[in-house]
Amino acid sequence: MHGHHREIVSISARPRAIAADTPLVWIGAPPADDDARLVWVAVTARARATYAAVIDETAEHLFRRDLARLGTSADLGFFQPFYRAYAREVVLRLEGTHLRIEDGP
Instruction: Output the pLDDT for position 20.
Output: 95
Percent of the chain with pLDDT over 70: 78
Q: What percent of the chain has pLDDT over 90?
A: 59
Residue 25 confidence (pLDDT): 96
pLDDT at 12: 52
Q: What is the pLDDT of residues 16-28, one digit of tens each?
A: 789 999 999 999 9
Task: Give 15-61 pLDDT, tens digit per residue.
Answer: 578 999 999 999 999 999 999 999 999 999 988 999 999 999 999 99
Phi, psi angles (nearest 5°) of residue 30? -60, 135
pLDDT top residue among 67 and 76: 67
The structural domains of the chain, with segments of one domain joined by +, span 28-101
